[in-house]
Amino acid sequence: MKFMQPIPVRDIALQTGAEIIGTADGAVRGMNEIHNVAAGDLTFVDHEKYYSFVLASAASFILINKKIEAPAGKTLLYTTDPFKAYNDIAISQHPTQHSSASIAATAKIGEGTIIYPNAFVGEHVTIGRHCIIYPNVTIYAHTVIGDNVIIHGNSTIGADAFYYKGRGSHYDKMHTIGRTVIHDDVEIGSGCTIDAGVSADTVVGKGTKMDSQVHIGHDATVGEHCILCAQVGIAGNVRIGNHVTMYGKSALSKNISVGDRAVLLGSSASAKSLEGGKTYLGTPADEVHRAARQFAIIKMLPDLWDKLRKL
């Protein structure tokens, strides 16, 4: 998320009680979770395992829970609880928007768009032309929807990111400041859920079609003209290319990518990135011919075991 105007890093330090390490003259232009940072952004790290990754990122300002020397071109803000400090800034810069009206006064609805009764459209939502929003659809604040989009009943667009920090006996919730962006000509089936980005955007590309009960996690990007069948699950920060097909109950773990024109067959799942132009099967997903051969061998194992026992 980019700020309306840059904030002096001294003001960030004052708000969070952090100690500045490095130059104190810079200004923070935005804030982002580590996977989406750019120059001028503020991010955080609170686990030594990730120090090197975060310090080498594009972020210019880093909340950190250890006093170390600031790398060239970066400003560190030392605090014992970077997660809380980051969250406090997020809440102050992007407070939760509430509305008691079915269609918020700040929502912008395009020409020819039909919104059925019992649908909810939140604050600062933008919906393009000639869309159809069926009953019981919920569209959270700041969501952006293009032209000719169809959203079927009981779907929820832009819910909070599923992002928590364990505190021993409880979990602290990360405040969501990202958006959900649905491009033109998308159709979303009934009972689908698309979470907003933690601090960037969750995106569904032009022409993509979703069956019922599909879930897309925070900060995920689905390319253009993809097909997502029923009960597909896509975790946070997944990058899916164009013309990708995911058949029923297939799933992708967080922080991976799928290349253009890949096909993931039904009930398959992957925790690793997949190349484009190939068809995958199984859990963990493998190229279909290789996976089919593995299944065939597995089916032979009981007979082979019986033969070995008789030797």
Interval 66-93 mean pLDDT: 96
pLDDT in tens, 19-48: 999 999 999 999 998 989 999 999 999 999
pTM, two decimals, is 0.93
How large is the greatest C-alpha to C-alpha distance in the chain, in angstroms?
Answer: 80
What does the pLDDT read at residue 295?
85
CATH number at residue 190: 2.160.10.10
- Whether residue 257 sits in one domain with residue 119: yes
Sign of CA dihedral 271, 216, 96, 154: negative
Interval 177-195 mean pLDDT: 98
What does the pLDDT read at residue 57?
95
Q: How many domains is the chain built from?
A: 2
- Whether residue 49 sits in one domain with residue 141: no
In a domain, 256, yes or no: yes
Is 204's pLDDT higher than 90? yes
**Domain housing 120:** 108-289
- Whether residue 127 sits in one domain with residue 150: yes
Q: Which of 42, 62, 93 is the last residue of a domain?
A: 93
- Whether residue 139 sits in one domain with residue 164: yes
Burial of 303: CB neighbours in 10 Å, binned 0-12, 13-18, 19+: exposed
- Whether residue 130 sits in one domain with residue 85: no
Residues ≥6 apart with Cβ < 8 Å to 299: none
Is 62's pLDDT higher than 90? yes
pLDDT in tens, 101-116: 999 999 999 999 999 9
Sign of CA dihedral 19, 22, 26, 30: negative
- Whether residue 82 sits in one domain with residue 134: no
Query: Of the ranges 49-53, 141-145, 307-311, which one carries the lowest mean pLDDT score?
Result: 307-311
What is the H or E stretch that residue 227 is in? strand 227-228
- Whether residue 210 sits in one domain with residue 168: yes
Is 307's pLDDT higher than 90? no
Task: Specify the pairing of strand 132-133 against strand 150-151.
Answer: parallel
Q: What does the alpha-carbon distance between residue 292 and residue 74 come to, in Å, rounded to a whole number?
A: 50
* Catalytic residue ranges: 218
Task: Specify the pairing of strand 114-115 against strand 132-133.
Answer: parallel
- Whether residue 134 sits in one domain with residue 232: yes
Is 255's pLDDT higher than 90? yes
Contact yes or no for 27/8 (Cβ under 8 A): yes
Region at 307 (left for phi over 0; alpha for psi -120 to 50; beta for the rest):
alpha
DSSP 10: H
For residue 158, how many other CB atoms are within 10 A of its CB?
26
